[in-house]
Amino acid sequence: MSGWKAKRFWANVTVVEEAEGGWGVRLDGRGVKTPAKTALVVPTKAMAEAIAAEWQAQAEMVDPRTMPVTRSANAAIDKVASQRSEVIDLIAAYGGSDLLCYRAETPITLVDRQEEGWGAWLRWAKTSLGVELVSAKGVMHIPQDAKALATLHALVAGHSNFEIAALHDLVGISGSLVLGLAVSQGALDPEEGWRLSRLDEDFQAEVWGEDEEAVETAIRKKADFLHAHRFMTLCQPHRT
């Protein structure tokens, strides 16, 4: 949607339950479509209401940048649905190079922070997901157990297309499949998940000072990460 612009042409925005299942959004009675011209039908009323609120909030010119829920729903319908296997493989691959498994050798302050924060969630993965990942110091690739990786792949594949759209960003932005799954399952607060994904960067900022461009990039990424969590909850009415 990033390159699409149009003038607002509607007065009323409504949410409707579709006969074939799911929920749609109407602009003066006309159904909203995705950029690929597919009907925008979403799994929950809460998600449809969030999308409707974005459309209702538009001024004279439509600004897609202010419509993150619409954008994520479009991605689930136009991209994930047509490339589901590839997207699942992409997300699951993070299990083989999970951020939490690559530890600093020095200084001891960072080593301790990583063990306290990251170690706890690797232990959670073992007890709650049945997945034991190996960690080591340094950046050299660490081979992981094939059974553990297969379990992670199956966990990712168990999500709906809309959930996969959210999980893609939770994992890709954090660099950790474990953190992404923990946040998506409600086991880990998204703010804390973001903080844990930034242990290295935050430590470097403490030592060397903040870089203005890096701070601006982090702010954008955090907003996207928190949005991905919100979109995941909108997929699941019992968690909204």
> Per-residue pLDDT tens for 218-234?
999 999 999 999 999 99
What pTM did the predictor assign? Answer: 0.94
The amino acid present at 197, given as its one-letter code, is: S
Q: What stretch(es) of the chain map to CATH 1.10.3580.10?
A: 84-239
Domain 13-67 has what CATH class?
alpha beta
Q: What stretch(es) of the chain map to CATH 3.30.2180.10?
A: 13-67
**pLDDT 10s digits, 109-145:** 999 999 999 999 999 999 999 999 999 999 899 999 9
Alpha helix locations (H) across the chain?
A: 45-56, 68-75, 84-92, 108-124, 146-157, 161-174, 177-184, 190-197, 199-208, 212-234
The CATH H-level superfamily of 84-239 is ATP12 ATPase (1.10.3580.10)
